[in-house]
Structures are given as C-alpha cells and as structure tokens.
Structure 1
Amino acid sequence: MSAAPGGGAQTLRTPGRHGYAVEFSPYLPGRLACASSQYYGIAGCGTLIVLEQNEAGIGHFRSFDWNDGLFDVTWSENNEHVLITCSGDGSLQLWDTAEATGPLQVFKEHTQEVYSIDWSQTRGEQLVVSGSWDQTAKLWDPAVGKSLCTFRGHEGVIYSTIWSPHIPGCFASTSGDQTLRVWDVKTSGVKIVIPAHQAEILSCDWCKYNENLLVTGAVDCSLRGWDLRNIRQPVFELLGHTYAIRRVKFSPFHASLLASCSYDFTVRFWNFSKPDPLLETVEHHTEFTCGLDLSLHSPTQVADCAWDETVKIYTPACLMNPP
C-alpha cells in the first residue's frame, strides 16, 4: 500500500481492496479505519485497514483480514484500540489494534450480510447496533458473548443503523422498504416509522446539534431532512447527485452542514439552511464512493473511500471558510 499526495488530497492505495466504509478514531486525531472487500464485496475476503497520518501523508498502521467482505466499521467509544467490523457472512468482528492478531471476538447471529454497525456515543452505555440484510437490527454489549435484543419490523434489507448522539438507547435505521425507523432499546420496539422516500434508503444520520433532526439518503438521488416532531413531510430536500446516495454524515462542528457520497463517484457538501444549499462537489474518485466521515478533531478534515481502491483524506474548500 502506498500513500501519495495529489490534488490536495492525501491518498492511500489499497490494491485489490474496494472500500466500503471509513471512520476517524474518536480518540486519536491522526488515525482512521477502512472496511474493505475483495472483488467489490461480491466474493472473496475482506480487510480492515487502519491508517495513520503523519508529516509525510497517510501511512499504513495495521491491517486485519477476514474471510468475507467487510462492509462497515465503528470505533469503540471506551477503548482507543478497539473497533468492530461487520461482514457478508453475517458476523461481527471485534479487533484490537494493539494486537497484530485475529479478532478478539466474533459474533455470529445474523443470517445474511451485516451492512451496518455503530457504537453508541452517549455516556454511560457501551452498546453496539448492527443492521442486516436479514431485515433485523441487533443490539450488542461487546462484553457479552451474544446479542441482547433483536429488532424486527423492517420489510426489506437494512442498510443503515445509527445511534442518536443525544438520547441514550435510541437509534435509527433505514431500509430497502423505503422507511426510516426510530427505535427505543428500552421497549425493544419501533417508536416512529417514516415513509421517507419512494426508493430504497441506503443511509441516515443524526444531527449533532438537534436531537429531533435526521437526514436520509436514497437510491432516488435525494437527501431529505426529517424533524421527528412532525414527520408528514421533510424539512429540507437536497438534490444534485445523479446516482444513489451511499452515505450521509452531519458535521460535528456546524449545525446546518452535512456531506454525502454517491455511486456517481462524487462527495457533496451542503448547508441545508441556505437557499442554494450545495456548497461544493468533490470529484476525485473513479468508482462508486461508499465510505465517508468527517473528523471529530479537525473542523476541516474529511475522509472517504471508494471502489477504486483508494482512501483519501482532504480539506474541501467549503470547510476552510465555513458558513
């Protein structure tokens, strides 16, 4: 793997590995993880690639192989060395970057591909949620060897499961059944069902500044904002992508700023409070752009990954002088 600066972006090549997800460490400013798969995730194995930034660019810190494609990754919120990936064989893997060995634990309960994994960010709980093509979401405590609860209700594959950063025990999910759902782990049931798009919904995220605001990204190329207090229609709609939106992330630093990546090879930055919300379009990949994250440590730093076998870290112009 080689790192090369180019076009303002630091690039790490991942030969033979197609990127599905990337996430900055919540603890170490220069560290990030990428979940990747061989053969576009259709066959072959997967690799968790842990990267480190230094003066020379992005360096390869450690990698871990799994015998099926890896589709998502989440860092532990209570141990800077630990992360969890999820894969095409229906399992979750718990890794320790301080140990150059196989997974600490493997959790295998889902019956189909696990496409989404997220570690709770609210204080006082160490819970992980996974979403699968078996139409279920599962709740895990990494210290317990089996799932704590299974959430049923979606009528299509689950593509995204994201914890609320505000409300303990609350997460959202999106699905091929065209709905956004909000769940409460205390009741193990769905709280809210929103028919958010007339298309499969591949991604969602919670606003870091408003506990009632979520955004969805769908195969219909649109992003829609939802206020949980009034779900009859979206509070905003963002148009511009030309193929399915694969991932969407709210900014940790700006209340009305978000980013999205798409199968149209682009990453777009938006300010949904403006009459002309599209701030910038970044076109530096040559394949489906699947992974996207905004740094928790730097207001200007973004990472993404794509099926073109690269991970990129960069500063888009619109974040240099944010709204």
Structure 2
Amino acid sequence: MCSLKDNIRRIRSASDGLILELKSAHPPSLEGRAGCETWSVDFSPDGSWFAWSMGHGIVWVIAWPLQYDKYAGPLKKTGLVEIALESNRQDKTLNCDQTVWGLAFGPRPSKTPAPGEKAASCDRESSRLLLATGLDNGVIKIWDVVTGQPRFDLKGHEGIARDLVFTPNGKLTLVSSSRDKTLRIWDLTQKGKKEPHVLTGHKDWVSCCSVSPDCSMIASIGRFDRMVCLWSLRSYTFIRNLMGINHKTFYLLASCDFSPDGALLATAAFSGSSWWIDLWDPYTAQKLSSLMDCSEMYGQNQISSLRFSPEGLQLAIVTEDRALQMWEPGQRGMVMQTKEDRASNGLCCNFHPQGGVVATGTRDGHVRFWRVPRSVPSLCHLCRSALRHSVSTHQVEALPIPRRILEFLTYRDIPNHSEARSDRSSDEEE
C-alpha cells in the first residue's frame, strides 16, 4: 500500500467549496474495475480519525485533521492545496479481504468494569476506539483503531451487511442492516457471543438505517420494497411504516437520517431522472416538507445519500450527477451545488462531528472533502433543538402555547421546494 503522500491529488480550491481529494492507492490495473467503489466514509465521534472504504477490500483510517498549507507566490493565486505530511502519522490500512459496504466508528467502551472484571483490564479496554466494517459475505468485522488489528467478528447476516450505525448514547450497541431483509442489534460488550436482536418486516434489501439521538427509534429504508420502517430500540418491536412517500408508480428509496434533535426524519427517493427528499415527523408520521428535483436530464440522476449537519441546519445530498448539494430546509432552500461530474458519481457522505467539513465518497474510489457553507444557528433554533431532543411531538402539542410557536417547535413551518434546480447555478457557466 502506498503512503498518504502518494495518494494526495492537488486540486483547485474553487468557489464550490472543494478543499482536497484523496485518491485510492490501488494498482492501475484495478482502477475503474468493479469493487473500487467507496461505499462508506465516517469520522470518529471526537473527530480525530477518518475512515474510508477505498475499494477492493481495503479500509484506510487516517488521523484527522489532515494538515494542509496553501503555497505562497504564484501557486497561492491558483488556489492549489496540498497536504503537509508529518513523520509521526498514525494512519492505518485495514485489509478486510471482502468488499466493504458499510463502516462506523464506535464510542470508547465504558470505564466501569463489568461484574467480575478487573479494573486494570477495563482501563485498557476504555482506551480502544473501535471500527465496525460490514462485508460482502454478511460478516461484520470489528477492528481496534489504535493497533489496526481485528478484534472479533459478528456473524448472522445471510446477505451483504450494507449499513452500520452505533447508538449515540455511548454504549457499545451496533445496529446493522442487510440485503437479507433484516436489521440486527448487537451488544459489542459480548464480543459477538450473545445472539443479536433481529428485526424482520422488510420485503427486500434493507439499504440504510439510522438511530434517533435519544436512542428510542431506528429508521430503516427498503430500497425496492418502498418501505420506511420505524422500530422501537427499547422493545425491539415494529412501530409503523411511513407509506405514501410519493404517488409515482415506481421509485427506489436511497437513504434516511434523523435530525440531531430527533424531531425530523429525512428520507430520499428517486425515479428515472428525478429525485426528492421528504421530511417527516417520526412521532406522528406526518410529512412536513419536500424538496424535489424534476430536471429533464439524460441518464440516471439518482440520489445516493443524505446526512444532516451536526447543528441540524443543513442536509448534505449526494447524487449521481453531482458530488454534493446542500439544502437548508428552514431557510433559503438549496445553498450549495457543485458542478456536474458524471465521471466520478457520488455514493456516500458524512459530516465532521464539529461541522465545517463534509466528506463524500465516489464510485471511482476517491474521497473528497468540502467546506460547508457557513450558517449560524439562531437562538430560536438552539432552544428548539434543546427542547425537542427530550420532548416528543405529542408532548409539545399538549402545551398551551400560541399556534405559531407550536408550528415552529414541531417543524410545521418548513416551506416546500418543488424544484431544486429551476435556476441553474453560476458554477456551470464556465
């Protein structure tokens, strides 16, 4: 495997916010062949590591931040960016021997020793950051990030382990979705020795899952069965299916994500050359708002992934024809659109936990880092987020408050955007 320096691509820091791009280190004979796709990217919870499934069974774990400097003189005028490498970098290369479809960093284990466990042993465990990788054969392999060594395997899925997410409460609980039509909930403190909870109900591939910030619900997407299912993470039971996302006769579901306060669930779908995003209230199953793109474009214009920003003000959207778009649901609609780039179709995205940067993975195995448009949250938004993190929609509706405040607290004042690109952005004029 080549070093990081061999994989840095100098890029032009354009107005669309592209900071830098990393290229895979595979031999030229493997470039562009099946298996080179970057299906998943993730930052560690504290933002100190970045993981990238770079194709052909390889995961690269990179210490973050990547230090880069702009050159002085003529190069500064062109906006060229390059990594300033450090000799003591702790980057890791993990060889999974299988196509890696999903990956997720876990929280550090609790320092509280389990019954009968020695405190010293527990202290050693608490310093280990884990990385879960979902493989082509259905196995979920758990890695020690610091040592770069495998810890144990989770076996049970009978199809591709497509998406992985750790619960945000700091516990070692992992939720996985698979092409075997199931979701599984694993307790990593048992190192795979305890049988997982299995959630069944989807009629086809489960391509995406998300956990609400209060760890009360799981949302899952069935790519071909057109089901958006909500599950209780407390009782491991089915809650409801959000039907009627769109009246089209045929469409595919792509991705879902909870807002940071848990009051919104975003779902993405596409059909032909059109795509749309719906915002739902997960407590009432009410559709609150939609963003639609009905542009008449050649070929597929499917949406691949979406993610809420850490403060909940923006949605990052990755589509086949563009690397990245940013939507502010409550404000100006689309605030960022990258140039069309069909040569390297986008597949996934993820925000840095402190915000400011979003990473996208592409079909050719590259990863790009983008500067997020600056957006300062209002005091009203911060208060709403704090309240909604612990209060359900039903509890808010029971409060004796004015209608306009009620609509704000329940996100019912979000406008619809019927077409995302009715006005072509200026970055395409060149």
TM bin (shorter chain): 0.7 to 0.9
Higher CA-based Rg: 2
Cα separation, 1, equivalents of 2:377 and 2:336: 11
Amino acid in structure 1 at the alignment position of 2:263: N
- Shift, 1:219, TM fit: 2.6
1:54 aligns with 2:66: yes
The answer on whether the counterparts of 2:138 and 2:156 sit within 8 Å (CA) in structure 1 is yes
**C-alpha separation between the residues in 2 aligned to 1:320 and 1:219?**
28
- 1:222-261 superposed matches below 5 A: 222-232=276-286, 234-240=287-293, 243-253=301-311, 255-261=312-318
Change (3 A) 1:141 1:229: closer
Structure 1 counterpart SS, 2:209: strand
CA distance in 1, matches of 2:376, 2:210: 29
Does structure 2 retain, via aligned residues, the 8 Å contact 1:36–1:69?
Answer: no
CA distance in 1, matches of 2:366, 2:66: 18
TM-score, normalised relative to structure 2: 0.66
Letter in 2 for 1:48: V
Counterpart Cα distance in 2 of 1:228 and 1:320 = 26
The equivalences for 1:67-146 within 5 A come to: 67-78=97-108, 81-101=129-149, 103-123=150-170, 125-144=171-190, 145=192, 146=194
Q: Determine if the alignment matches structure 1 residue 202 to structure 2 residue 249.
A: no
* Cα distance in 2 for residues equivalent to 1:203 and 1:290: 11
8 Å CA contact 1:37, 1:68 repeated in 2: no
Q: 1 CA distance for matches of 2:108 and 2:240?
A: 29
Amino acid at match of 1:214: L
Percent identity over paired residues: 18
Aligned-partner Cα distance in 1 for 2:37–2:377: 31
In the alignment, which residue of structure 1 is the partner of 2:21? 11
Does the 8 Å CA contact 1:74/1:83 hold for their aligned counterparts?
yes
Is the 8 Å Cα contact of residues 293 and 304 (structure 1) preserved in structure 2? Answer: yes
Contact 1:74 1:85 in 2 (8 A): yes
1:222 alignment partner AA: W
In the other structure, the counterpart of 1:181 is: 229
Query: In 1, distance between residues paired with 2:212 and 2:201?
Result: 19
CA RMSD of aligned residues (A): 2.3
More strand by share: 1
**1:229-262 Cα deviation digits (max 9, x unpaired):** 4325x21111238622111101112x33111112
Greater share of helix: 2
CA contact (8 A) 1:15 1:309 kept: no
Q: Distance in 2 between matches of 1:216 and 1:138?
A: 21
Give the TM-score of the pair, scaled to structure 1: 0.87
**Aligned to 1:278, which of 328, 331, 334?**
334
Aligned length: 306
Report the secondary structure of 2:284's partner residue.
Answer: coil
Q: Which segments of structure 1 move beyond 3 Å, counting only runs of 4 or more? A: 320-323
Asked if the contact 1:36–1:48 (Cα under 8 Å) also holds between the matched residues in 2, the reply is yes
| 1:216 aligns with one of 257, 260, 267 | 267
1:301 aligns to 2:347 (yes or no) = no
User: In structure 2, what is the equivalent of residue 162 of structure 1?
Assistant: 210
**Stretches of structure 2 lacking an aligned partner (at least 5 in a row):** 1-5, 14-18, 27-35, 69-82, 110-127, 379-430
Deviation at 1:284, TM superposition (A): 7.7
Which one-letter code corresponds to 2:46 in the other structure? Y
For the 8 Å contact 1:118–1:161, the answer to whether it is kept is yes
**Cα offset for 1:136?**
0.2
3-state SS, counterpart of residue 143 of structure 1: helix
